[in-house]
Amino acid sequence: MVIMAVTPNDILNKKNLNKRVDVTDIDLDNVSIEDLKYNGDNYKEYINLQSLLENISACQLSDAYNSISHRSGTIKSIKPINNLKVWGSIYTVETTSDDWGTSAMAIDSAGEGDILFFKVDDDDKAIWGELASTCAKNNGIKATVVFGSVRDLDALLYMDYPIYASNHVPNAGLALGLGTLNQPIEVEGNIINPGDFFFADESGIVVIPKELFAKAMVSVLGVKLKESAIIEKLAQGVTLAEIVGFAKK
């Protein structure tokens, strides 16, 4: 039997991935979409990025993205099923409502920390439910988004696994496995590419192209700081009309 000794360096170099910095101290220099996952060398970027994402909302991110792209990043028909906040990089899937087998393929193919994003041709049948959610969570997948239907709401509503979908029905198709994995998809006129950024909470979802991720993060930090300053003024008794310059003179 080989006994692996723990050295003092092992202890000193162990990183606390739960560390967070105050929003006013967040540093986004050199942050990229790759920093959504800790790779051993991006500790500063990872911690600052997590500190930001934990403190923003889909509304703030949509406003920030609109300011740099004149697009909202939202897909209106997709709504939260269990109101859990989540973010990550997208793994795209396209299939038909007759085929829940592609869901099983996607669970095994996606990487840890990915968001599964399904485009389904219609919402007549569910392609996702309790068993798929359980498997996906066990594989380290962060959430599932379905432009189509899910089922098993009696379980999904109480699972610690974020689900977003455009509909829900009780029936499902077959395990055909005929869909495509990790290819560009188009949803409501939006082109979504593998690796694009996904953020969602109770208000809805926002998708941002990976090439605009860093710029969007800087922009949403500005939105967050501005709104925090407004809230502080409101607490001091200043009215919203006064803050935006609409107060009667």
Cα torsion at 45, 47, 51, 53 (round to 10°)? Answer: 60
Query: Which comes out higher in pLDDT, residue 240 or 202?
Result: 202
Beta-bridge partner residues of 119: 94, 147
- Helix H segments across the chain? 8-12, 43-53, 58-69, 101-109, 130-138, 153-156, 213-235, 240-244
| pLDDT for the residue 249 | 59
Neighbours of 119 (CB within 10 A): 20
Q: What is the mean pLDDT of residues 204-208?
A: 98
Q: Label residue 244 by pLDDT band (50, 70, 90).
A: confident
> Residue 12: which pLDDT band, with cuts at 50, 70 and 90?
very low
Strand 86-95 and strand 190-192: pairing?
unpaired
Q: Which domains does the chain have, with CATH numbers?
A: 79-208 (3.50.30.40)
Asked if 108 contacts 135 with a C-beta cutoff of 8 angstroms, the reply is: no
What are the tens digits of pLDDT across the range 47-71? Answer: 999 999 999 999 999 999 999 999 9
pLDDT band at 10 (very low <50, low <70, confident <90, very high): very low
Max Cα–Cα distance, the chain, nearest Å: 83
Within 10 angstroms of residue 200's Cβ, the number of other Cβ atoms is 28
* CA dihedral (151, 133, 166, 124) positive or negative: negative
How much is the pLDDT for 238? Answer: 75
pLDDT exceeds cutoff 50 at 159? yes
Amino acid 13: pLDDT = 55
Q: What is the pLDDT of residues 69-128, one digit of tens each?
A: 999 999 999 999 999 999 999 999 999 999 999 999 999 999 999 999 999 999 999 999
pLDDT (mean) for 205-228: 96
* CA neighbor of 116 nearest in space, from 177, 62, 182, 202: 182
**Cα dihedral sign for 214, 82, 149, 141?**
positive
Distance (Å, whole) CA 126 – CA 148: 7
One-letter amino acid at 18 equals N
Q: Report the pLDDT averaged over residues 227-232.
A: 82
Which helix H or strand E contains 91, and what residues bound it? Answer: strand 86-95
Q: How would you classify the pairing of strands 79-80 and 197-201? A: unpaired
Q: Which residues contact 92 (CB under 8 A, 6 or more apart)?
A: 117, 119, 181, 182, 183, 184, 185, 192, 193, 194
Please report the pLDDT score of residue 231 as a whole number.
Answer: 78
Give the residue, 94 or 4, on which the prediction is more confident: 94
3-state SS record for 194-229: CCCEEEEECCEEEEECHHHHHHHHHHHHHHHHHHHH
Around Cβ 51, how many Cβ atoms within 10 Å? 18
**Residue 60 to residue 65: CA distance in whole angstroms:** 9
Whether the CB-CB separation of 177 and 103 falls below 8 Å is answered with no
Nearest to 113, CA basis, from 34, 27, 31: 34
